[in-house]
């Protein structure tokens, strides 16, 4: 199937026609747009905002630092902006969103995360993975929508690629591409050879299994990750007076949005940084990001071997206020040399009032990271009687967070009890 056929098939399957009619028939032409503050959220928000603006919409943009859209936030913003349509982009597909129709009658969820909870009936959902998991990104879904509505340009295509890279659906450096996006990727890869060709240059957070080659797309996506806080709120406002007022999600959004209006064929990540509107601030943030990366890599040398079980060597790392922990941990994991086939790396960061953050990264998933994180969170939630404590994820990658302060030794006792059970 070529891309054109794929687009037609998906437009029909995902019912783009409904969205098209809503956009065309809108009277007030005002939209409230929520998006996630990671590279995919930023890229998809940029695409959707452009599509709406080309249809003469006024767009109110909100980039909260939380993954899921909270009821109180929607209530407040609907009151504040009184929008005709609400878009919720790359912020998960939660069953409980269904009752949000009581807050606003016309909401579109545009997403690529698996459904969590009951299927939604009262709200429009455009999500290609509802009938089976596929690696893709919200930026790709927004791109398909834009193309279907007749708005496609280089900026939008690059935004699609950035989101796909940010959410690990494409790996141009090793040419590992999700089947779902293959026809699009094949169609644009010649045109964007300057972004997608393999280069021997600084390896990025995406070079996990190998660090010999990368691409400019990987480097640019990592810069957007650093500018926005990556969806993990790694911010640098307190490190330099010039960064004091930076609101990271918005900062990353507007830098990339400006760049994509007339994308220059930059040759390096330095050229990309230099082409940004607020390049001074962007460079400062990215430098802090790089030095944090280096610092955390060094810290993780203190990781210790705990035990081998299920043909998996388990390593543990414990420290305070660790920056970029899960990302660095993914790279460190592949440098760990154990005796077993599989390796599981468990990272623990004690973050004071923000609580304790656990990250789990495995090579083969013999021990299911998501199940471990979820069971640990449930145990802690019960122990401290706090539903705020949550955890979960994929077989190879998962997180658990207490979100507020609890006695660290008590948290760790629960953790070791859980570890004992594995």
Contact by Cβ (8 Å): 89, 61: no
Smallest distance from Mn ion to CB 138, Å: 5
- Beta carbon nearer to Mn ion, 10 or 167: 167
- 3-class DSSP state for residue 219? helix
Smallest distance from Mn ion to CB 112, Å: 6
- Beta carbon nearer to Mn ion, 166 or 355: 166
- Beta carbon nearer to Mn ion, 93 or 349: 93
In whole angstroms, give the CA distance from residue 151 to residue 158: 14
- Beta carbon nearer to Mn ion, 37 or 40: 40
Contacts (Cβ under 8 Å, ≥6 apart) of 337 = none
In whole angstroms, give the CA distance from residue 372 to residue 377: 9
Pinpoint the alpha helices (H) of 229-368.
248-261, 269-275, 279-299, 325-333
Helix-strand-coil split of the chain, %, nearest 5: 45, 15, 35
Task: Using CB positions, name the residue nearest to Mn ion.
Answer: 40
Smallest distance from Mn ion to CB 328, Å: 21
**Which residues in this chain contact Mn ion in the complex, by CB under 5 A?**
40, 90, 138, 167
| DSSP annotation string for 55-71 | TT-EEEEE--SSSSPPH
Smallest distance from Mn ion to CB 44, Å: 7
In whole angstroms, give the CA distance from residue 252 to residue 363: 31
- Beta carbon nearer to Mn ion, 138 or 411: 138
- Beta carbon nearer to Mn ion, 181 or 344: 181
Smallest distance from Mn ion to CB 48, Å: 13
Q: How far is CA 367 from CA 223, 315, 349, 372, 398, in A?
A: 32, 13, 21, 8, 11
Smallest distance from Mn ion to CB 143, Å: 13
């Amino acid at each position: 199937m070529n891309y054109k056929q794929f687009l037609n098939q998906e437009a029909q399957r995902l019912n783009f026609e409904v969205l098209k009619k809503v956009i065309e028939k809108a009277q007030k032409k005002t939209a409230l747009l929520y998006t996630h503050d990671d590279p995919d959220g930023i890229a998809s928000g940029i695409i959707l905002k452009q599509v709406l603006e080309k249809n003469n919409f006024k767009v109110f943009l909100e980039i909260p630092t939380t993954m899921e859209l909270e009821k109180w936030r929607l209530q407040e913003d609907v009151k504040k902006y009184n929008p005709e349509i609400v878009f919720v982009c790359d912020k998960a597909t939660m069953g409980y969103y269904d009752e949000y129709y009581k807050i606003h009658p016309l909401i579109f969820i545009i997403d690529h995360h698996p459904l969590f909870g009951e299927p939604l009936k009262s709200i429009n959902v455009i999500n290609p993975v509802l009938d089976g998991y596929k690696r893709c990104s919200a930026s790709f879904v927004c791109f398909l929508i834009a193309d279907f509505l007749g708005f496609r340009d280089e900026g939008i295509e690059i935004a699609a690629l950035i989101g796909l890279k940010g959410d690990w659906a494409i790996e141009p450096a090793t040419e590992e591409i999700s089947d779902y996006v293959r026809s699009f990727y094949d169609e644009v890869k010649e045109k964007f050879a300057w972004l997608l060709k393999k280069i021997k240059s600084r390896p990025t957070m995406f070079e996990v299994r190998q660090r010999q080659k990368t691409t400019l797309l990987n480097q640019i996506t990592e810069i957007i990750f650093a500018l926005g806080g990556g969806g993990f709120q790694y911010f640098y406002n307190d490190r330099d007076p010039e960064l004091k007022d930076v609101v990271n999600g918005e900062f990353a959004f507007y830098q990339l949005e400006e760049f994509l209006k007339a994308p220059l064929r930059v040759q390096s990540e330095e050229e990309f940084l230099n082409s940004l509107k607020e390049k001074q601030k962007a460079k400062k943030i990215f430098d802090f990001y790089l030095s944090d990366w280096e610092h955390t890599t060094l810290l993780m040398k203190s990781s210790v071997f705990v035990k081998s079980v299920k043909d998996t060597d388990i390593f543990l790392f414990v420290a305070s206020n660790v920056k970029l922990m899960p990302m660095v941990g993914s790279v460190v994991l592949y440098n760990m040399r154990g005796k077993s086939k599989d390796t599981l790396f468990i990272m623990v960061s004690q973050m004071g009032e923000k609580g304790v953050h656990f990250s789990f990264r495995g090579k083969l998933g013999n021990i299911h990271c998501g199940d471990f994180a979820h069971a640990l969170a449930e145990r802690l939630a019960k122990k401290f009687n706090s539903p705020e404590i949550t955890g979960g994820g994929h077989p190879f990658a998962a997180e658990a967070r207490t979100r507020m302060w609890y006695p660290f030794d008590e948290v760790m006792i629960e953790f070791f009890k859980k570890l004992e059970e594995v």
